[in-house]
Amino acid sequence: MKITAAVCRGQGEEFQIEEVNLADPRDDEVLVRNVGAGVCHTDLICRDQWYPVPLPAVFGHEGSGVVEAVGKNVTKVAPGDHVVMSFMSCGVCKSCKLGHPAYCAQLYAANFAGGRLSDESSALTDGSGARINGHFFGQSSWATHSLAYERSVVKVDQAAPLELLGPMGCGVQTGASCVLSTFNPEAGTSIAIFGAGSVGLSALMAANAVGCTTIIAVDLKPQRLEIAKSLGATHGINAAETENVVEAIKDITGGGVDYAIELTASPKVFRNAVDSLGPLGTVAIIGAAALGTEYSFDMNDVMLPGKKIVGHIESGNLAPDIFIPRLVQLQQQGKFPLEKLVTTYKLDEVNKAAHDTEAGVSVKPVLVF
């Protein structure tokens, strides 16, 4: 079928709106008519080839929409179902079998290689029949339609605002699950969030929902700190105006936070996150840096107070099928006001959405169809 998509044809180039061809779903695939698709930092660093996704390609990995057709072996969803599309995993490695698909042994090949995990083929071609790389995070949702895998679609309540739910497939679930799954903090604990973008603010909303009583947002932009406070942050630190962020956090908490999240991909900021921990504190690194980026810390400052450093991506220790419906319920109950983060754009405004993301104008741009 012919669809319209935003195509990236060269490193760092603007996206081109093109009519392309999408193949019929295979036995384990689901055809989704997209309603919304988030614009994420990961899409843009792949455009810039920090992660070497083959080009030309259709990006987009935070899609939501309505199922139009399913392959003959699909039983999880049916035409008419509302779904959020999340990342792809192999389903057969140790991590997948233990229920931790975010740490799939084939995560890179399944999400960044530009083709199907089974045979490297792509369902997308241009008007001349030339290959366009697709299956980005198993969906390539910057298009009017997507072919997703049964494994990576999550059925959601039809009463929920479908056009806003796409970011729950990646960025929003990443921030929220870091708190709710990887940390699982007790009520009354403290957390510092370095970077008040959509992922950081999702972590903040989750921390507020589970009863963290000292929630510190750190950012360079005053407007983002104001949003953070409106969502439950007890303190905001403007890193551009604060001489020593670590000391400011220790002053607020009386010695350091229980938890910290680093979202900026800056080694310097990550060091601040490690240093801001109190005894037995845990820091998670989420920010996606260029391959080969290294950071340093004082080994004794980690060893002696029993600090922990963990990596976290996507749904963490939970499967999206379990976690995303929980987020939807929280949103419906007003405990996770995702709508406060979203600015909508049409598909042909994708380059403006990308610019607004990089400039910090929009917290979470969402393309709507």
Domain boundaries, the chain: 2-170+316-368, 175-311
CA 140 distance to own-chain centroid: 14
Q: Determine the Cα–Cα distance for residues 70 and 207; give it in Å rounded to an integer.
A: 37
Q: Pairing relation of β-strands 214-219 and 190-194? A: parallel
Domains 2-170+316-368 and 175-311 alike in fold: no
Interior/surface letters 334-348, b for 16+ CB within 10 angstroms, e for the rest: eebebeebbeebebe
Q: What is the DSSP letter of 43?
A: H
- Residue 309 phi/psi, 5-degree rounding, is -120, 125
pLDDT of residue 291: 82
CATH of domain 175-311: 3.40.50.720
Q: Could you tell me which of 87, 63, 66, 104 has the C-alpha nearest to residue 149?
A: 87
Q: Pairing relation of β-strands 124-125 and 2-8? A: unpaired
Residue entry with tokens 């976690």: 323
Amino acid identity for residue 2 in this structure: K
pLDDT in tens, the chain (369 residues): 999 999 999 999 999 999 999 999 999 999 999 999 999 999 999 999 999 999 999 999 999 999 999 999 999 999 999 999 999 999 999 999 999 999 999 999 999 999 999 999 999 999 899 999 999 999 999 999 999 999 999 999 999 999 999 999 999 999 999 999 999 999 999 999 999 999 999 999 999 999 999 999 999 999 999 999 999 999 999 999 999 999 999 999 999 999 999 999 899 999 999 999 999 999 999 988 878 889 888 999 999 999 999 999 998 888 999 999 999 999 999 999 999 999 999 999 999 999 999 988 899 999 999
Number of CB atoms found within 10 A of residue 30's CB: 29
pLDDT of residue 298: 92
Q: Determine the Cα–Cα distance for residues 327 and 335; give it in Å rounded to an integer.
A: 9
End-to-end CA distance of the chain: 17
Alpha helices in the chain (DSSP H): 41-47, 94-97, 107-112, 162-165, 171-177, 198-209, 222-230, 245-253, 267-275, 299-303, 320-332, 350-359
Q: Name which CATH class applies to 2-170+316-368.
A: alpha beta
pLDDT of residue 146: 98
pTM: 0.91
